[in-house]
A and B are shown apart, each in its own frame.
Chain A
Amino acid sequence: MAWLIATARNCALDRLRRRRTLAAKLPLLEEQRVEMIELDDSAFPDERLELLFTCCHPALATEAQVALTLRAVGGLSTEEIAEAFIVSEETMKRRLSRARVKIRQAGIPFEVPAAENLPDRLSAVLAVVYLIYNEGYAGRVDLATEALRIGRLLESLMPDEAEVHALLALMLIQNSRSGARYAGGELVLLAEQDRSSWNAGELREGREELGRAVALMGGNVEGVYLLQASIAAIQAEQPIDWGRIAHLYSELLALTGSPVVALNRAVAFAEAGEPAKALELVERLPLEGYRYLHSTRAELLRRLQRTDEAADAYRAALSLASSDPERRFLQRRLSEI
């Protein structure tokens, strides 16, 4: 998705952009050189941005972009990345190798994209970072922490980009609550979380980043990550303004057309006191195989006291549940009605 970039920012970015021959820079992506980037970041400050954009080039498959970014920018070992995404080390080695070959053979340039391509290319980088934040499983390395590190690096290299600050804000605010998400191995919903276990420092930093993002957007709340970060910030307040959240989800839906966003918007309407409207919205969504559709339907039907239908929906959600805490939570709900 494109957004307007002020010409002043174009100039700053042109200064950053350097054209280099691929052959000279390819070593940065080879196995041996990665260690050097990690140990002595100050020697190659600008090249980390080129590296990020190269690793996240759309000509590479998404999973390759993620793996390369973690390897070349994050400095993780192939073994650590394989463990985080639950694949064998061989598989990950091949994935990285294929990506490097593609970069070399297909002539993917080692540079920060030109201004006219920057919006789309930056979107790709932000998507990879957020994917790393969300999709990695716990291993020896906490991928959420890696994503935050890369997010902070990106912020230092592109301080004039609103969505860069917004993504960092989103991850920080979400991360501030991660300690409260489980209690004794059991899933805890937002409304019931122990707020004292939220990381106040991360929440504060997240709010500051959000403020910077809004200022860079000229005071407007626009952009995929800025909208999500704003929603996350409101959820950290007491009481939660669900009406405003529903409105922000509407804007996000207009930008993305995502049925998952539509689902979250319906939840916001329910929390704002309109469960019937929410259910009506949910019934229209093409998300049959998505477990949260069923758990949301179940919750809404429960609130509307249509208990038989709610039970069916909880069973459907259970059949799609992907973790034990989730299963136990749904079982409890099912037995309560």
Chain B
Amino acid sequence: MKYALLVYSLPGSHEELPESERNAVYGEYMALGGDPRCTESAQLQPTETATAIRVKDGQRLITDGPFAETKEVFGGYYVFDVANLDEAIAVAERVPAARLGGSVEVRPLVEAPS
């Protein structure tokens, strides 16, 4: 089963780490992406680079910033192909954001019938 692991971080939580610890943490993110069960992953640039688009009454509305201001910020995702939810959870709890004040949302993908 394929699961999306949506990584939400507490702003500043990674940046405020001492350099050596920060590098180790980034290494962990990369290692997870290199896991053979990981089919894809991406890190998003910070929310300052975000643009929100809505279409209302046929009108296109473009605004600066993410679609919603939240305490935790969506920063990236992994897709893991594992046997069940417990295996997906075992991966998710190793995502550094989870222990640095953020959270990881684990949700199964809608898979096309084979």
Residues of A participating in the B interface, judged by any CB pair closer than 8 Å: 22, 57, 59, 105-109, 113, 117
Q: What per-residue 1/0 map shows which CB atoms of B81-106 lie under 8 Å from chain A? A: 00111101100000000000000000
Q: Which of B83, B86, B107, B108 contacts A113 (CB 8 A)?
A: B86
B1 close to chain A: CB less than 8 A: yes
- In this complex, how many residues of chain B approach chain A with their Cβ under 8 Å: the count is 10
Which applies to chain B's interface (DSSP): helix, strand, loop or mixed?
Answer: mixed
- The total number of A-B Cβ pairs within 8 Å is 24
Whether B86 lies near A106 (C-beta < 8 A) is no
Whether the Cβ atoms of B84 and A22 lie closer than 8 Å is yes
Partner of B108, one of A57, A107, A117: A107
A107 to B85 Cα, complex, angstroms:
5
CA of A106 to CA of B88, assembled, Å: 10
Chain B residues positioned under 8 Å from A108 (CB to CB): 84-86
A63 to B107: give the CA distance in the assembly, Å: 21
Q: How far is the CB of B113 from chain A (nearest CB, A)?
A: 14
- Are A109 and B86 touching (Cβ within 8 A)? yes
Q: Which residues of B contact A109 (CB under 8 A)?
A: 83-86
CA distance in complex: A106, B84 (Å): 8
Q: Which residues of B contact A (CB under 8 A)?
A: 1, 3, 83-86, 88-89, 107-108
Which chain A residues border B86 with CB–CB below 8 Å? 108-109, 113, 117
- Measured in the bound complex, the distance between the Cα atoms of B89 and A105 in whole Å is 15
Q: Please, which residues of chain B bring their CB within 8 A of the CB of A106? A: 85, 107-108
CB-CB nearest 10 A-B residue pairs: A109-B84, A107-B84, A107-B85, A107-B1, A108-B85, A106-B85, A109-B86, A106-B108, A107-B108, A59-B85
CB distance from B1 to the nearest CB of A (A): 5
The smallest C-beta distance from A22 to any residue of chain B, in angstroms, reads 7
* Set of chain B residues within 8 Å of A22, measured between Cβ atoms: 84
B34 to chain A minimum Cβ distance, whole angstroms, is 23
A22, A105, A106, A109, most chain B CB atoms within 10 A: A106
A120 to chain B, nearest CB (A): 11
Q: Bound complex: CA of A59 vs CA of B1, how far in Å?
A: 16
Collect the chain B residues with CB atoms within 8 Å of residue A57's CB: 85
A residues near B1, Cβ cutoff 8 Å: 107
Shortest B82–chain A CB gap in Å is 9
Chain B residues lying within 8 Å of A117, measured Cβ to Cβ, are 86
Report A273 CB to chain B, min CB distance, Å: 46
24 A-B interface contacts by CB (under 8 A): A22-B84, A57-B85, A59-B85, A59-B89, A105-B108, A106-B85, A106-B107, A106-B108, A107-B1, A107-B3, A107-B83, A107-B84, A107-B85, A107-B88, A107-B108, A108-B84, A108-B85, A108-B86, A109-B83, A109-B84, A109-B85, A109-B86, A113-B86, A117-B86
- Residues of B within 8 Å of A107, CB to CB, are 1, 3, 83-85, 88, 108
- Add 17 more A-B contacts to A59-B85, A106-B85, A107-B3 (CB < 8 A): A22-B84, A105-B108, A106-B107, A106-B108, A107-B1, A107-B83, A107-B84, A107-B85, A107-B88, A107-B108, A108-B84, A108-B85, A108-B86, A109-B83, A109-B84, A109-B86, A117-B86
Shortest beta-carbon distance from A35 to chain B in Å: 27
Write out the residue numbers on chain A whose beta carbons fall within 8 Å of the beta carbon of B3.
107
How far is it, in angstroms, between the C-alpha of A311 and the C-alpha of B86 when the chains are bound?
54
Q: Which chain A positions have C-beta within 8 A of B88?
A: 107
The CA of A307 and the CA of B85, in the complex, are separated in Å by: 58
Please, how many angstroms separate the alpha-carbon atoms of A117 and B107 in the complex?
Answer: 20
Which one of B83, B86, B108 has the greatest number of beta carbons of chain A within 10 Å? B86
In the bound complex, residues from chain A placing their C-beta under 8 Å from that of B84 are 22, 107-109
Instruction: Kindly provide the distance from the CB of B110 to the nearest chain A CB, expressed in whole angstroms.
Output: 9
User: In the complex, how many angstroms separate the beta carbon of A106 from the nearest chain B beta carbon?
Assistant: 5
**Residue on A with the closest CB to B82?**
A107
